[in-house]
Structure 1
């Protein structure tokens, strides 16, 4: 038996497994932003979150996304291909305090990038900080996002903003109605 599973838990599992097999890891967790140097699609997605979501630069939406980008996800799906995705961004940013997105996991191929992220923000009413997690997959074509699929923990976000009662998901799982 090798020592692959006996190393400290703080070392990423995939790195331990890759080291034991002699292979190089495709993904590391937690993600090290310094590793983006060789990951152009990850850099594009990182820029997307910093510029559009973090800084609120809505002009960057048209520079980063294609005009007919296919979008899927709870809130993202509100933006039809013909509509202005920046309206969705503006609506969410108006509900939240400053947003800082950190990638915890990243995978990238020739045209696809997938990230797990943590978005740190706050409730603007009382300044109470909170975090939500999410995953985004994007296909990049000619340096722009051509397809984006996202899932974010909007239940938690709306709970933290006071728009849903605490433990709303648990209540819904019991079959009860929110009221």
Structure 2
């Protein structure tokens, strides 16, 4: 297996992994023993769903989320750089590095000339464009909306104006607990 940083998409909700991800992803995952994850507990669950025979105790996890100090991630890629081990990034749900702290690791890997291999999987962003009936020729992903109600309302008005002015579909993402 190639020494690289693999970006592993995770299905949303309770959809069975094998219905959404190609078997190729499971084969890659079986050969990785070091993962950068948003949440260790949910990453372990995802790995077990992907392959029930995977030995979770043999896997090393680096946690990367909104609480991680960005100054502490400098050594997260040492298993690739010093030991030649392939590594994977597992997002909480969806695609690593898209509205996700994994982008910081990907940027760091690029600076260190580490090969980055994104794996095929569902993207809620593209799936929403496909199913929306809105323009798929021109769209913008705007990340998360502001948490404060007044700022969020203002941002939604700005996005609405861009829809009409630029004939551009505006996409954003929201967390279930703020929904």
Instruction: Identify whether the pair has TM-score above 0.5, normalized to the shorter chain.
Output: no
- TM-score under structure 2 length normalisation: 0.29
Larger proportion of strand: 1
RCO comparison, higher one (Cα < 8 Å, 6+): 2
Larger proportion of helix: 2
- TM-score under structure 1 length normalisation: 0.29
